[in-house]
Amino acid sequence: MGAPKLFEPLTVGSLTLPNRIVIAPMCQYSAVDGCMTDWHLIHLGQLALSGAGLLTIEATAVVPEGRISYGDVGLWDDNTEAAMAHTLESIRQWSDMPIAIQLAHAGRKASTDLPWMGGRQIAPGDTNGWQTLAPSPLPYDPGEHAPLEMDRAAIERVRDAFAVSARRSVRLGLDAIQIHAAHGYLLHEFLSPLSNRRDDEYGGSLENRMRFPLEVFEAVRDAVPDAYPLSIRVSGTDWVENGWDLEQTIAFARALEQRGCGAIHVSSGGLDPTQQIPVGPGYQVPLARGVKQAVSMPVIAVGLITEFEHAESIIATGDADMVALARGMLYNPRWPWHAAAHLGATVSAPNQYLRSQPHNYPGLFGE
């Protein structure tokens, strides 16, 4: 009997992952002026010992005004790069887990307070607040300060900032880059007809709405070495009538694949406060399945995947090529260990932890 599908290796570009478990990016709202702190070393360090196939650094802003909050991580200058370098250097002394980064711009959902401080949007001029940017001057919520509509210069500036952050990522030795085009942030705002009301070449038709996200992808692709693993995270639907949907997501995925995208991570929602999300275990898996049937690049499923057998079935049935966990990993940072023990697979663990191998799973950590 072969190894469980969840623990089979997978190659994306020049990177081979030891298994199909991805730790999704999770904002920690604990940076100072975009710089990682010791919290990120603790947080990412313990996840790097989990045995997952890939660890993804949280949404990392390519420009200061692209942060979701004033506590967000950035990678836009030498200071933010040096802080991340310190964190990565420390982690890599003890873990060889592949590490990816998610590059992002929050668009009209930027300039917010920390979640545990209420998470409200902070108006420009108030402490820790700034003017937001978006494809159209429409706030996420009617009570919020309206974003400025991006002109051609702003579009080019953000596109180029993604490329600069990509070059910094490669210099840091990060193993892969994911571009954030989901959850109502800037690139998703350009994609959805609910937030993009432009009448120029960046708005209107699906082709026009995809134009800026594709330009960002191409700029990042051109900034990194050949075969360097690039992926993108999308919302498969807005869960709002007449919004972004699976059919448009598939068209976008095909356009990305033609341009060399290595994998696509399918989430959903986040663009409109009137969304009606049918939350439940695996509620986004059908979106991943729909995309996977249309493209050949690996597809990542995410969303309340917490049970070992459920994760295995998603891979075994071909609904997706990888599964991503976020909050489940915060709750149980050794989830991959327990999944391997349950499914009869092996997983990597540091020498310092080998003594924890259960007697009833003698092969958990290999021979």
Long-range CB contact pairs, 122-131, < 8 A, 24+? 122/70, 128/69, 128/70, 130/64, 130/65, 131/65
Determine which one of 29, 70, 185, 202 is catalytic.
Answer: 185
Per-position DSSP letters for 264-330, written without gaps between them: EEEE---S-TT-----STTTTHHHHHHHHTT-SS-EEEESS---HHHHHHHHHTTS-SEEEESHHHH
- In angstroms, the CA 304 to CA 278 distance is 12
Other C-beta atoms closer than 10 Å to the C-beta of 242 total: 9
159 with 215: CB under 8 angstroms? Answer: yes
Structure tokens at 181: 């085009």
Alpha-carbon Rg for the chain, nearest whole angstrom, is 20
The SS3 assignment for 333 reads: coil
For the question of residue 140 being annotated catalytic, the response is: no
The residues assigned a catalytic role are: 185
